[in-house]
Structure 1
Amino acid sequence: MPAKLPVRHLGPLSVSAIGLGCMNLSHAYLPPPDPAQAERLLLHAIDSGVTFFDTAAIYGFGQNEELLGRTLMHRRGEFTLASKCVLGEVNGQRALDGSPQAIAQVLDHALRRLRVEQIDLYYMHRLDPKVPVEESMGALVRALEAGKIRAIGLSEMSAPTIRRAHAVHPIAAVQTEYSPWTRNPEIAVLDVCAELGIGFVAFSPVGRGLLAGRIGREGVEEGDLRTGMPRFQPPHLARNLDLYDRLRMLADEAGCSSAQLCLAWLLAKGDTIVPIPGTTNIAHLDEDLAAIHLDLSPAILAAVDTLFPPGAASGGRYNAQAQAQVGTETWPGELEEQA
């Protein structure tokens, strides 16, 4: 029997308090795992009580959905499945297409790759500025009425956009990067989610690996997605690793790892927040899940807040090209640090 983890709620969905972000099993970070390793990781996650798996059409241009489809769907009744549309492949390149026709087509392809008839939570991965959000939402509502999805989500969108979308149909969850060094949701998104009864999914909760101690001063290898992110480039990387060293000292004081401290900090921010760390390593997954059971003192949690005030991280979280596709609110001066 699978282990049992505490649950949290995203709209009508009940999920493990920590889910699994599946992106780096097929996409973005190097080195990639071989398929057998990725499959073992997924099966270990579900056996360990993870009931929330997050993928997207863009991850490996469909390869990640195919991975989940062949690995997990014989246990379909045991977990909540999330995927995403709008940000995907257009003529072999990463691009946005939020037209109703594209959303319907991408969804049908996702259902086939995932080997399911229904996706539990289907996000607009980004807002396509060429298409009013109400039109994109209309396509998702039709998919819901047709039984192809159970609930609608939004990713990396601003509070005003969330309100507009929610006026068309209730949003179950909003997903945005959130961690001690990326606190943009605290500007407005968390407040609007609380007001409207929307769950919040925190991706990259351990700073894309840096706050977990997975990145050294040599940085990441060429071709890794993070090489294009200012925070992982000099001179920002050295400054951010100094922040990590101070975080690790706090974690040592608390008797946990720095990754666990980040996750426990997020879980303490509200009972509708669900972090989805990603990993290719079973030991790291076990470490992440153990954070659910930590009982950290208010003083330690407050010390994390003090160490990472808004703007503490050096460098923007995206370069200018990627930031142009993100609607999430930014802190004063943040966009000036994209280089």
Structure 2
Amino acid sequence: MMLSHIKVVDLTRDLGAYAGTLLARMGAQVVTTGTTERDAAELAMDQYGKTTSDTPLLDLIDAADIVFRGPEDCPPELSPEALAKRNPKLIDVAILPFDAGRANDGRPATDLTLMARSGLMTIVGDPGRPPLTLPGRQAWALAGIQGAIAALTALNARAADGMGQQAQVSAYRSAVLANYREPLTWEWVGKVGTRTGNLLIRGKSGVRQVWRAKDGWVTWALVDNQPMMRATVARMAEDGMAGELAEVDWDAILVADMPQDVLQRWEGIVEAWLATKDRATLTVLSNKHGMGLSAISEVEDVLASDHLAARGLWEETIVAGKTVKVPGMLFREVGP
């Protein structure tokens, strides 16, 4: 495995714990000192592949390549300066709620508050309703991903000069960077995004993105993609359900400039047709004819996927006394 020669000491508790898991999934030897009261599903995400050890902590660090630390207070002997003196080749990555030394340094933070401050919750949900957050602990997961990237980047640099590095990752900044569109919109035009629900706003109007199929949900949108629109309407016409859409010259109009009431009328025709097809049938039609449609998988679909199973994605492990299915190795080496 690609990182089997790398030793990691994970001092995190919750925030930052995912960084060590990602390296463990790439084969690194990850020893954790963290304790947590989280449920089995969260432990599977943040602690999978890690081990504990009776070896004194400082001895582990002396032999380590990477150490991950969270926002928890640490004794003087575990400070970045002290560890750098003990092990000059050590890569020391701190994963914190906010940038150290900046305005919010030291303020309490949870995944929920970090998501809210990042702006992601501003654009998630339906208009006129309270903001929503995404499932799981997304800000913490994003920070863990950035922490793993920081460690691997420093590891690559160490291969050139033999020296360790110190890096800091902000969970708040990680979440803001994931919200790629809104910060740029604010910076360039001074506007803050809003919740649009099941609408993709283009031009003067908005078009639906998620639709009910016969056995679940699919994603598709009535947009200015003429080949896609012709392919979809042709399939509807085969079933005698295209209605007035069969008369539309898609090369002569801009969907983004169409009145909202016209779009809603057209979408009603599409909605009726999609509801007659199951997701598998719609997927086959889309792939064959270029309809631009994708099926939305439920959790059960992902776990039961023959495609993913054939690639060895899932592994079973016991976490907190429960058998759970978790993703396996991120990468697999292929022999000659």
TM-score band (shorter)? under 0.3
TM-score, normalisation: structure 2: 0.24
Decide which structure has greater helix share.
Answer: 1
Greater relative contact order (Cα 8 A, min sep 6): structure 1 or 2? Answer: 1
Indicate the structure (1 or 2) with the bigger Cα radius of gyration. Answer: 2
